[in-house]
Amino acid sequence: MISELRELYQETILDHSRKPRNFGELPTANRRAEGYNPLCGDRATVALDLEGDLIKDIRFKGAGCSIFTSSASMMTESVKGKTRPEAGALFERFHDLITSDPSQAKHRAVPELGKLAVFAGVSEFPVRVKCAALAWHTLKAALLGDPTPVSTEVSESSSGDGGGHAL
Amino acid sequence: MSATTNQAAPRAAATVLDVERVRRDFPILRETVHGKPLVYLDNAASAQKPQAVIDAERAVYERYYSNIHRGVHSLSMRATDAYEAARAAVRRFVGAAHTREIVFTRGTTESINLVASSYGRGHVGKGDEVLITGLEHHSNIVPWQMLCEEKGARLRVAPLDDRGDVLLEDMERLIGPRTKIAAFAHVSNALGTVNPVKRMVEMAHARGVPVLIDGAQAAPHLEVDVRELDCDFYAFSSHKLYGPSGVGVLYGKASHLQAMPPYQGGGDMILSVTFEKTTYNELPYKFEAGTPNIAGVIGLGAAIDWVEGIGRGAIAAYEGGLLEYGTRRLLEVPGVRLIGTAREKAGVLSFVLEGVHPHDIGTVLDYEGIAVRTGHHCAQPVMERYRVPATARASLAVYNTREEIDALVGALHKVREVFL
């Protein structure tokens, strides 16, 4: 496989896309949000069991490409047990990673991102940024208790404007 | 599945198309993408341009560009002549009786909006109905929806069967005394279905309902004869017909166009203006407000000349063979399912690959130099009908080859290696 493609479709990403973690209904959920990527028809639902500021449990549902599915799956693993501000800070780092200049992406793979650093390859594929960011935007809406479904066309401008993900 | 069209069959048999010669007319086909020769299979979105079209547009700007229908100077007269010659070419191309029945627009979308707005507002009222089918492009849904919303009318939708054919009996039942206009695609952009539009027009006319045909996907592939079809309106775009983007055509029966109010007000559409009263220009200028895409229209004329030089019968026969070959080869790939297997199809191979999202297919194919469209193809109701979020779509043009289909099939095997 060509190197940029291998960078995008890393083994961890393919693994999460084939076997997504924390996938399905969350019976104890007290927060829920929906997200939509009108460009490719991807749909996401993120359900949270939120206790104060703490994300006690999280599940997602949805249909989409491997980048969406793996990003959602790894996001649930990364934010479970974190607080709302911690999750917001992580989204900001993640967003920086996938929207940075490809030559800079490696430097944006800061230690706090952990396994999420495998998404650095997305920066080479600007049209796929929305796929990687959809679950995160939906999580943010769930944390804010926003009842309007999220659209990546609104929340993910094509210029890759990365500001304002803090919660 | 028959891939050719009944209209095209007789003449097609006599002409053999030399695809290598056709390809030499398209400079872009010599480009490479990610180091691989470009395999352009996104023609239903927009087709590439032959040298003749590129040269025609260039000649306008280099030698005789000027505004039209205005000046007494030589350039303006030359530009006007070329612009009106393109209108005559379009008239011949669709078989219309008069050039005054040919209106230039920005594209199919604007042509449909023109009819929905000008004809629709005058004829559709509260409690009336507009009939479309389940396979329409958003451009042939939304303008009617907007009209219905404004007027308190109702949009009725003729359903599809599992193969992608419109259920004609159901459609006929939906035509009632409140139906004021019907609008159907000639060819579906998402499924490739060729609708039996002549029969559909007859069914509508039997109840006194006028018909608009969205010919965006048909004009590049089939012979179109608006008098034979007896449709009231026919819309298509230049850019899918190897012509420049930003230009479209609306054919309308003169009797309708005559009675319709203008769509937009401005220059060129008037005979005289005072602050008390404006007298509108004759057809077709009444519907062409403002300075149009002059070079684009002249480029469309060149595209039509080019297409007619190849021969529409020859194009339909060649593409039909390619579509059959592509259908057979795609189905050899494990896990491939075609979306859209109508009795009669043109130009479109829409498919899903089990276990791989179309978006991922598109990214891997791109690295093989292959351009396909992935997504909902501006036909979300079609996707819902077949319960898929999206498809990958390979769509054909006259310059595509069996070798390119083979490259697509080879790349799909690579996709399976990556994801499965």
Determine the pLDDT at residue A1.
Answer: 61
Mutation to test the A interface, candidates B359, B385, B388, B415, most A Cβ within 10 Å: B359
Q: Please give the tally of structural domains in chain A.
A: 1
Confidence of residue B321 (pLDDT cuts 50, 70, 90): very high
- Rounded to the nearest 5 percent, the helix, strand and coil shares of chain B are 45, 20, 40
CATH code, residues B9-30+311-419: 3.90.1150.10
Q: Contact, B206 vs B155, CB < 8 A? A: no
Contacts of B370 in chain A (CB under 8 A): none
Would residue A144 count as lying in a domain?
Answer: yes
Asked whether this chain's domains B9-30+311-419 and B54-308 adopt the same fold, the reply is: no
Condensed to tens digits (0 to 9), the pLDDT of residues A24-51 reads: 999 999 999 999 887 767 889 999 999 9
Domain boundaries defined on chain B: 9-30+311-419, 54-308
Going along chain A, which residue ranges are E strands?
Answer: 31-37, 42-51, 54-63, 150-151
Kindly report whether the peptide bond that precedes residue B50 is cis, defined as omega within 30 degrees of 0. no
pLDDT digits (tens, 9 = 90+) for B207-219: 999 999 999 999 9
What percent of chain B is predicted at pLDDT more than 90? 87
CA distance B404 to B396: 10
Concerning whether B231 is annotated as a catalytic residue, the answer is no
Cα separation, B289 vs B297, whole angstroms: 15
CATH class for the domain made up of B54-308 = alpha beta
The catalytic position among B183, B370, B378, B396 is B378
Residue A160 within any structural domain of the chain: no
Give, in order, the Cα–Cα distances in Å from B278 to each of B257, B265, B408.
18, 10, 57
B263-281 mean pLDDT: 86
> Does B380 sit within 8 Å of A41, measured CB to CB?
yes
- The secondary structure of residue A18, as a DSSP letter, is H
- Over range B182-210, report the average pLDDT: 98
Cα-Cα-Cα-Cα dihedral sign, residues B196, B202, B207, B209 = positive
Q: Residue A166 falls within a domain, yes or no?
A: no
pLDDT in tens, B114-170: 999 999 999 999 999 999 999 999 999 999 999 999 999 999 999 999 999 999 999
Q: Is the pLDDT confidence value at A113 over 60? A: yes
Chain centroid to CA B346:
12
pLDDT digit string, tens, across residues B83-119: 999 999 999 999 999 999 999 999 999 999 999 999 9
At CB < 8 Å, which residues of chain A contact B? 1-2, 4-5, 8-9, 14, 17, 39-43, 63-68, 125, 128, 131
Contact criterion met (CB below 8 Å) for B182 and B131: yes
- B419 to chain A, minimum CA–CA distance in Å? 7
Would you say B410 and B36 are in contact if contact means Cβ atoms under 8 Å apart?
Answer: no
Give the number of other CB atoms < 10 A from CB of residue A50.
18
Determine the Cα–Cα distance for residues B247 and B210; give it in Å rounded to an integer. Answer: 25
Owning domain of residue A85: 3-155
- The C-alpha angle B32, B37, B40, rounded to 5 degrees, equals 95
Would residue A165 count as lying in a domain?
A: no
Q: Fill in the DSSP letter of residue B258.
A: H
The residue with tokens 């289909």 is B405
CATH classification of the domain holding A52: 3.90.1010.10
Nearest to B360 among A1, A4, A66 (CB): A66
pTM of the model: 0.91
